Amino acid sequence: MTYKLRRGTGRPQNGGMMTRIRTYALAVVLGALAAGPAGAGARLPPIDTSDVARFYRVYDAAGRHPGAEALARDYLAPGSAALHDFARLRRVSGTSIAQAIAARPQIYVGARRCLAVLPDVKRRLRAALGKLVRLYPEAKLAPITFVVGHGKPVGITDPAGVTMGLEALCAADFMDPNLEDRFVHTIAHEYGHIEQPADVQALEQGQPGATVLRLSLIEGVGEFTAKLISGGVGEYRPPGWMQGQAAAVDRAFVRDEDKTSDADIARWLYNGPGPRSDLGYWVGYRIVQAYYDHAADKHQALRDIYGMRHPHRFVARSGWTPGG
């Protein structure tokens, strides 16, 4: 996707894709059973939209200009555990939301268009997660929660689940122009991170081992998962955007793959929006997809993909070739 959302760090509001989220949308918690041969009896995770519904009750009651005290008392205080975690990690408060509404009122008005697509988003996410369970029965099924914050981040993802900022993702118009697709593919991407080991999820730029290759493969797993279960990647690209350039991009990637400096990471990741932003997501996705495509045992391939710890070994076994 286009926002780095792992562990609540969140990319800048105008950054590249999303990397981990929790979701709550407009109605109740989802308690459907995942039917199917591989997931009989498995329970799909809740998709909670109660925080969003409560925010807009407070917002409308105050004529679109709720004060900090009302937001803290009537929206944040009675909120879900995911909202409380989101607020703590991203320093969201009644005051910060009130200030954001005053500074950028259009994003809160505009987010209503995303409320309209949430029912279909939830339906498609049920189908996508059901497919994940059928293909990968040991999948971790963490909650998805939609909340409203102070305009950023788009979301956070950690082993506890995916939390999505409705107003932030709705305002990210440089992403997929189809709102329903934007939500579904972004959250499916984040679910790829849910399946990764916690220490892999937690790896950040600047930490030991955080090379261009490793970070790109982490995000590539998210993109691969989104494509596999929802039919599209989170990092939206217009058709034909890289025509004739793949070989040159791949050669440059191989030259940089073991680099770790902020400048080197920024050439490949967390540098959007823009037509060539977050190219590491795209290269990482193609490597992971090649691994899956070449594997005779697809279930074992998923175990290898989600349990990946040795990037160079994984690439060597993937069958991926630069420019291929």
Residue 174 pLDDT: 87
CA–CA separation, 12 vs 205, rounded Å?
A: 14
Tokens encoding 247: 């070989």
What is the CB neighbour count within 10 angstroms for residue 12? 13
CA 208: distance to chain centroid? 23
Mean pLDDT check: name the lowest of 98-112, 241-255, 287-301. 241-255
pLDDT tens digits for range 175-188: 999 999 999 999 99
pLDDT tens digits for range 254-285: 999 999 999 999 999 998 776 678 999 999 99
Phi, psi of 155 (to 5 degrees): 180, 175
Amino acid, res. 255: R
Write the burial class of residue 37 (CB in 10 Å: 0-12 exposed, 13-18 middle, 19+ buried).
exposed
Which region holds residue 4: left if phi is over 0, alpha if psi is between -120 and 50, else beta?
Answer: beta
Give the percent of the chain with pLDDT over 70: 86
Note whether 110 and 166 are within 8 A (CB).
Answer: no
Amino acid, res. 181: D
Q: Is the pTM of this model over 0.75?
A: yes
Highest mean pLDDT among 23-27, 140-144, 197-201: 140-144
Q: Interior CA angle at 173 toward 167 and 176, to 5°? A: 110
Mean pLDDT check: name the lowest of 39-43, 65-69, 100-104, 232-236. 39-43
Q: How confident is the model at residue 40 (pLDDT cuts 50, 70, 90)?
A: very low
